[in-house]
Structure 1
Amino acid sequence: MDSPKTIKITDPKVALAKAEHFCAYQERSQQEVRDKLYDWGLWPDAVEQIISQLIEGNFLNEDRFAKAYTKGKFAQKAWGKIKIKQGLKFKRVPDVLIKKALQTIDIDDYAATLSKILEKKAATLTEKNTLKRRYKLQQYAMGRGYEADLIADILKNSEL
């Protein structure tokens, strides 16, 4: 199902130049670039050759991508580690790099961010029953990708 604006590129040199621009614009995972190259209509051998050229030219770096993705999703969207890990797995980043990237999140900032989103959510809840209220807060935080034990600790030590 091609959309009318889908470009077809058959020359690997043109594709490499476009892929370099694509990677220079923002950090990308190898899978994102691979998918884009296939969308452009390149053959598998050309795709893999371009990927290795991008890695050699330092346009593509999975470790750098994983750290940038982790930092961005935590800082901008206040995602928890579970949701960030799922996002990185979806982009087919190796588990070793995912683990390394998640370690870049400061533990104190992580707990403070979770407290902040729980307080913000608590302000919008109208539930009077304490148990139901805490359950709703816990479900909300788990949906944002936070760990159940950390959520429980923060809820136990707060007046939410």
Structure 2
Amino acid sequence: MEYYCAYQERCYKEVEEKLYSFSVNSSEKEEILTYLIENNFINEERFAQSFVRGKHNYKFWGKNRIVNELKFRNISSRIITIALKEIPEETYLKNFHQLAEKHWHNITERKGPKKNKKFVDFLLRKGYETNLIYEKLNELETGN
């Protein structure tokens, strides 16, 4: 389990599920998890920060999707707030604008409601905020 945690940042839930897959009884599981936490193999804050950086920088996820994924992994709101500070606001906006413009030009539909829907849906799935999406849509539609 040390190797499993050292190979890649893991959250408590992932390690717990891995132990469950090995059919470890509950007292042994608690003992192993306690050991891993005490020896800093599991650190939720470090996991969340790494997760935020990776998902934004490589998959270009927005904050909404990142927050939902971290909540799914039972990461506390306090840790999520700290982790989101890993993305500088200017980098976040730069990545959003690049992704939005690239996707706008890759949509094969002609300008109109169908193209707009595809554009908005894509960015919502990526986890970006609706106000950002609609501001960018207006900008691209008018050609400014």
TM-score by length of 1: 0.82
2:56 is matched with: 74
1:111 is matched with: 93
Shift in Å, 1:131? 4.3
Cα distance in 1 for residues equivalent to 2:115 and 2:61: 21
Higher mean alpha-carbon deviation, 130-139 vs 52-61, is at 130-139
Task: Report the number of matched residues.
Answer: 142
Would you identify which runs of 4 or more consecutive aligned residues in structure 1 move more than 2 Å? 126-136, 153-160
Q: Which of structures 1 and 2 has the bigger CA Rg?
A: 1
Greater fraction helix: 2
Residue type of the alignment partner of 1:87: E
1:48 is matched with: 30
1:94 is matched with: 76
Shift in Å, 1:70? 0.7
2:7 is matched with: 25
**Residue 152 (1) aligns with residue 134 (2):** yes
Consecutive unaligned residues of structure 2, counting only runs of 5 or more, are: none
Residue type of the alignment partner of 1:92: N
Cα distance in 1 for residues equivalent to 2:44 and 2:89: 23
Higher mean alpha-carbon deviation, 27-36 vs 39-48, is at 39-48
Cα distance in 1 for residues equivalent to 2:31 and 2:77: 24
1:38 is matched with: 20
Tell me the secondary structure at the aligned position of residue 128 of structure 1. Answer: coil
C-alpha RMSD over aligned residues: 1.6
**Residue 62 (1) aligns with residue 15 (2):** no
2:107 is matched with: 125
Residue type of the alignment partner of 1:137: F
Consecutive unaligned residues of structure 1, counting only runs of 5 or more, are: 1-18
Cα distance in 1 for residues equivalent to 2:133 and 2:125: 11
Residue type of the alignment partner of 1:33: V
Cα distance in 2 for residues equivalent to 1:156 and 1:118: 12
TM-score by length of 2: 0.90
